[in-house]
Amino acid sequence: MQNYHQPEIECASPEEIRKIQDERLAATVKRVYDNVPYYKKLMDDKGVTPGDVKSVDDLYKLPFVSKSDLRDAYPYGLLAAPLSDCVRIHSTSGTTGKRVVAFYTQNDINLWDDCCARAIVAAGGTTDDVVHVSYGYGLFTGGMGLHGGAQRAGCLTLPMSSGNTERQIQFMTDLGSTILCCTPSYAEYLAETIQEMGLRDQIRLKAGIFGAEAWSEEMRERLEANLGIKAYDIYGLTEIIGPGVSFECSEQTGMHVNEDHFIPEIINPETGEVLPEGEKGELVFTCISKEAFPLLRYRTRDICILSRKKCACGRTLIKMAKPMGRSDDMLIIRGVNVFPSQIETVLLAYGLSANYQIIVDRINHSDTLEVCVEMNPEMFSDSVKVIESREKELMEKLKNMLGIAAKVTLKAPKSMSRSEGKAVRVIDKRKI
Ligand code: DLL
Query: What CATH number is associated with residue 229?
Result: 3.40.50.12780
Query: Final residue of a domain: which of 325, 357, 385?
Result: 325
Same domain, 164 and 289: yes
Which residue is closest in CA terms to ligand 1's atom 6?
A: 142
CB atoms within 10 A of CB 228: 14
Looking at the structure, tell me whether residues 285 and 386 fall in a common domain: no
- Do residues 180 and 287 share a domain? yes
Q: Do residues 37 and 69 make contact, with C-beta atoms less than 8 angstroms apart?
A: no
Q: Could you tell me the distance, in angstroms and rounded to a whole number, from the CA of residue 384 to the centre of ligand 1?
A: 39
Contact 36, 65 (CB under 8 A): no
Q: Residue 392's domain is classified under what CATH number?
A: 3.30.300.30
**29 touches 53 (CB < 8 A):** yes
Is the Cβ atom of 91 under 6 angstroms away from ligand 1? no
Sheet containing strand 242-248, edge to edge, reads 156-159, 130-133, 179-182, 207-211, 230-237, 242-248, 255-257, 319-320, 306-307
Closest ligand 1 atom to Cα of 302: 18
244 and 106 in a common domain? yes
Query: Could you tell me the distance, in angstroms and rounded to a whole number, from the CA of residue 44 to the centre of ligand 1?
Result: 32
Query: What is the span of the domain harbouring residue 95?
Result: 1-325
Distance CA 128, CA 125 (A): 8
Ligand 1 binding pocket includes 135 (Cβ within 6 Å):
yes
Ligand 1 centre and the CA of 150: distance in Å?
18
DSSP 430: G
Q: Which of 139, 146, 233, 237 to mutate to test the pocket of ligand 1 (most atoms within 8 A of CB)?
A: 237
Between the CA of 418 and the centroid of ligand 1 the distance, in Å, is 19
Are residues 345 and 232 part of one domain? no
Asked if residue 182 and residue 229 are part of one domain, the reply reads yes
Q: What is the pLDDT along the chain (432 residues), one digit of tens a residue?
A: 569 999 999 999 999 999 999 999 999 999 999 999 999 999 999 999 999 999 999 999 999 999 999 999 999 999 999 999 999 999 986 555 668 899 999 999 999 999 999 999 999 999 999 999 999 999 999 999 999 999 999 999 999 999 999 999 999 999 999 999 999 999 999 999 999 999 999 999 999 999 999 899 999 999 999 999 999 999 999 999 999 999 999 999 999 999 999 999 999 999 999 999 999 999 999 999 999 999 999 999 999 999 999 999 999 999 999 998 777 778 889 888 898 888 999 999 999 988 999 999 999 889 999 999 999 888 886 788 999 999 999 999 999 999 999 999 999 999 999 989 999 899 999 876
- Computed over its alpha carbons, how large is the radius of gyration of the chain? 22
Q: Which atom of ligand 1 is nearest to the CA of 209?
A: 8
CA–CA dist 322, 429 (Å, integer): 28
How many domains is the chain built from?
2
CA 101 to chain centre: 18
Residue of 347, 380, 321, 401 lying closest to 188 (CA atoms) = 347
Do 199 and 302 lie in one domain? The reply is: yes
300 CA closest ligand 1 atom index: 16
- Which ligand 1 atom minimizes the distance to the CA of 329? 18
Alpha carbon of 389 to ligand 1 centroid (Å)? 37
CB of 134 shorter than 6 A to ligand 1: no
Q: Is the CB of residue 259 less than 8 Å from the CB of residue 306?
A: no
- Residue 241 Cα to ligand 1 middle (Å): 11
Q: How far is residue 276's CA from residue 387's CA, in Å, rounded to a whole number?
A: 47
Nearest-CA residue for ligand 1 atom 29 is 237
Do 212 and 354 fall within a single domain?
no
pLDDT at 95: 53
Instruction: State the burial class of residue 291 (Cβ atoms within 10 Å of its Cβ: 0-12, 13-18, 19+).
Output: buried
Ligand 1 pocket member 323 (CB < 6 A): yes
Beta carbons within 10 angstroms of residue 247's beta carbon = 29
In the prediction, which pLDDT does 337 show? Answer: 87
C-beta of 115 in contact with ligand 1 (< 6 A): no
Q: How far apart are CA 372 and CA 85, in angstroms?
A: 49
Q: Is there a contact between 316 and 14 (Cβ–Cβ < 8 Å)? A: yes
> How far away, in angstroms, is 185 Cα from ligand 1 center?
13
Q: Is 212 close to ligand 1, i.e. is its CB under 6 Å away?
A: yes
Choose one of 302, 322, 328, 339 to mutate for the ligand 1 pocket test, by most ligand atoms within 8 angstroms of C-beta: 302
Q: Is the CB of 327 under 6 A from ligand 1?
A: no
Global pTM reads 0.93
Pairwise CA distance, residues 178 & 299, whole Å = 35
Verify that 280 and 390 share a domain, yes or no: no
Same domain, 141 and 208: yes
- Separation of alpha carbons 165 and 324, rounded Å: 29
Whether residue 261 is found in the same domain as residue 148? yes
Whether 58 lines ligand 1, by a CB cut-off of 6 Å, is: no
Contact assessment for residue 219 and residue 156, using Cβ atoms and an 8 Å cutoff: no
- Which amino acid, residue 180? L
Last residue of a domain, one of 283, 309, 325: 325
Contact 39, 78 (CB under 8 A): yes
- What's the pLDDT at 47? 98
Q: How far is the CA of 142 from the centre of ligand 1 (A)?
A: 9
Q: Where is the domain boundary, 325, 355, 377?
A: 325
C-alpha to C-alpha distances, 4 to 113, 118, 160, 321, nearest whole angstrom: 14, 7, 26, 21
Contact 59, 263 (CB under 8 A): yes
| Whether residue 114 has its Cβ less than 6 Å from ligand 1 | no
The answer on 287 and 233 residing in a single domain is yes
- What is the rounded distance in angstroms from the CA atom of residue 82 to the CA atom of residue 291? 10
Query: pLDDT at position 93, please?
Result: 63
Q: Is 254 in the pocket of ligand 1 (CB under 6 A)?
A: no
Q: CA-to-CA distance for 340 and 426, rounded, in angstroms?
A: 8
Which of 235, 245, 344, 422 gets mutated to test ligand 1 (max ligand atoms within 8 A of its CB)?
A: 235
| Whether the CB of 243 sits within 6 Å of ligand 1 | yes
